[in-house]
Amino acid sequence: MQIVIIGSGNVAYHLAKAFTRKNIPLKQIYGRNTSDLKEISEELGIPYSTDQLEDAEVYLICVSDRSVEDISKIITKKECLVAHTSGSLAKEILMGEYRKSSFYPLQTFSKSKDLEYKNIPFFIETENEEDKNVLMHLASQISEKVMESNFEKRKYIHLTAVFACNFVNHLFSRAKEISDSQDIPFDYFLPLIDETVQKIHEIDPRSAQTGPAVRNDTRILEMHEQLLKGESLEIYKTINHSIKKMYEL
């Protein structure tokens, strides 16, 4: 099958790398950023272009959510399958007369970090059964976790990821702000953070909850509120309230 990847960012790079490792040939990697494309092309041995989009059977659009609609217009071919890789866009955002689909890898990608691709879940949505089989097969070659998912479900997947990944990272930022203010190295908290995450590999997070809110330890909760201000105080109150509600305290 002839596959072209559109984009030169982290998702494009890692998908290209995952396919290459499994000896799935890519016909081209196409995008706007010449230096990024050149780098990927040299590392993975895939032809690249910034102006001549190759003819292919499958196009995977790996660009930021805001650019998907625009870039989708450059594919003028009708007899082909085009997939975007976004968790938050309907497949109908794609503007062309081709068959539309979504090929969503649930992971946070950094260029420099190597990943175990087989653990990355892929969520697939297509217009018909045949396209579904094509994309499910493609994803299965790099990942062990491939699921069909319509846009409605994909929205919730992305929303779950926002809580479990984006919001968690922001809590780390606010935590570091507190420790920085007291000259306590944030590194000191990494073993605790690692253990917190390790735990939920084994038990339901609901059963793993610890801390003053779930103990309803008002003395400590009040002491903490006096140490905080601004957004951190708002977060403190909101999450404690949510913990108390969850455990009916």
Q: How far is the CB of 37 from a second copy (least distance, A)?
A: 22
Query: Can you tell me which residue has the tokens 């050149």?
Result: 38
Q: Which two tokens stand for residue 241?
A: 């309230």
Count residues binding a second copy (CB under 8 A). Answer: 87
Residues in region 2-61 near a second copy by CB under 8 A = none
119 forms part of the interface with a second copy (CB under 8 A): yes
78: contact with a second copy by CB under 8 A: no
Contacting a second copy within 126-185 (CB under 8 A): 145, 147, 153, 155-157, 159-176, 178-179, 181-182, 184
Our CB check for a second copy shows the closer of 78 and 245 to be: 245
> 78 vs 219, which CB is nearer to a second copy?
219
In three-state secondary structure terms, 149 is coil
Using CA atoms, how far apart are residues 197 and 199, in angstroms rounded to an integer?
5
Is residue 204 a contact residue for a second copy (CB under 8 A)? yes
**Closer to a second copy at the Cβ: 32 or 199?**
199
- Inter-axis angle of helices 230-246 and 168-181, nearest 10: 130
Task: Tell whether residue 198 is a contact of a second copy (CB under 8 A).
Answer: yes
CA nearest to 4, candidates 47, 44, 40 = 47
Q: Which spans in the chain are helix H?
A: 10-21, 34-44, 65-72, 129-142, 151-161, 168-181, 190-200, 205-208, 218-227, 230-246
**Burial degree of 7 (CB within 10 A; 0-12, 13-18, 19+):** buried
Nearest to 11 by CA among 94, 83, 95, 98: 83
Least separation in angstroms between residue 202's CB and a second copy is 8
**Residue 228 binds to a second copy (criterion: CB under 8 A):** yes
77 or 244: CB nearest a second copy:
244
Q: How far is the CB of 162 from a second copy (least distance, A)?
A: 5
Q: Given 3-state DSSP classes, what are the helix, strand and coil percentages for the chain, each rounded to the nearest 5?
A: 50, 10, 35
Among 133, 223, 229, 249, binds a second copy (CB under 8 A): 223
67 binds a second copy (CB under 8 A): no
Task: Answer yes or no whether residue 248 interacts with a second copy by CB under 8 A.
Answer: no
Q: Does 90 bind a second copy (CB under 8 A)?
A: no
Tokens of 43: 């590392």
Q: Does 191 contact a second copy by CB under 8 A?
A: yes
